Structure 1
Amino acid sequence: MTRVYGERATELRKVFEAAPGQQLTRQSLYERMGATEVGKADERRNIRNTLPALVRCGFVAKEGLGSAATYQGTGKAKRAPKAPEELADTKRQRNAQRTATTAVRTRAARVAQQAANTPAPAKVEALHSGETVDQFLARGGRVQRLTAHWEQAA
Structure 2
Amino acid sequence: MTRVYGERAAELRKVFEAAPGQQLTRQSLYERMGATEVGKADERRNIRNALPALVRCGFVVKEGLGIAATYQGTGKAKKVPKAPAELAESKRQRNALRTAATAVRTRAARVAQQAANTPAPPKVKAIESGETVEQFLARGGRVQRLTAHWEQAA
TM normalised by structure 1 equals: 0.68
Aligned to 1:112: 112
Residue in structure 2 matched with residue 16 of structure 1 by the alignment: 16
CA distance in 2, matches of 1:67, 1:40: 18
CA distance in 1, matches of 2:2, 2:49: 12
The separation in 1 between residues aligned to 2:9 and 2:145, in whole angstroms, is: 73
Residues in 2 aligned to 1:75 and 1:113: alpha-carbon distance in whole angstroms: 49
Q: Deviations over 1:15-55 (max 9, x none)?
A: 21233333210122223334445555454343223222212
Q: Distance in 2 between matches of 1:87 and 1:21?
A: 35
How do residues 22-101 of structure 1 correspond to structure 2 at under 5 angstroms? 22-38=22-38, 40-101=40-101
Q: 35-44 vs 57-66, which deviates more? A: 35-44
- Give percent identity, aligned residues only: 83
Question: Which residue identity is paired with 1:15?
Answer: V
The DSSP-based 3-state class of the residue aligned with 1:61 is strand
Q: Which runs of 5+ in 1 are unaligned?
A: 139-143
Show CA shifts across 1:94-139 (max 9, x none). 2223333434543333322221111111123569xxx84124x49x
Larger gyration radius, structure 1 or structure 2: 2
Q: Residues 89 and 70 of structure 1: is their aligned pair in 2 closer, same or farther, counting only changes over 3 Å?
A: same
Q: Which residue of 2 aligns with 1:3?
A: 3
Gaps of 5+ in 2: 138-142, 150-154
Give the 3-state SS of the residue equivalent to 1:8 in structure 2.
helix
d(CA) in 1 for partners of 2:39, 2:134: 90
Q: What does the per-residue CA deviation read over 1:55-99, in whole Å, with 9 as the maximum and x for residues that have no partner? A: 232211222222111112222221222222222222222222333
Amino acid at match of 1:73: G
| Map of 2:152 onto structure 1 | none
Task: State how far apart, in whole Å, the 1-side matches of 2:42 and 2:133 are.
Answer: 80
Residue 56 of structure 1 aligns with an amino acid whose one-letter code is: R
TM-score by length of 2: 0.68
C-alpha root-mean-square deviation of aligned residues, in Å?
3.3
Query: SS of the counterpart of 1:98?
Result: helix
Q: Which amino acid aligns with 1:76?
A: K
- Distance in 2 between residues matched to 1:11 and 1:96, nearest whole Å: 41
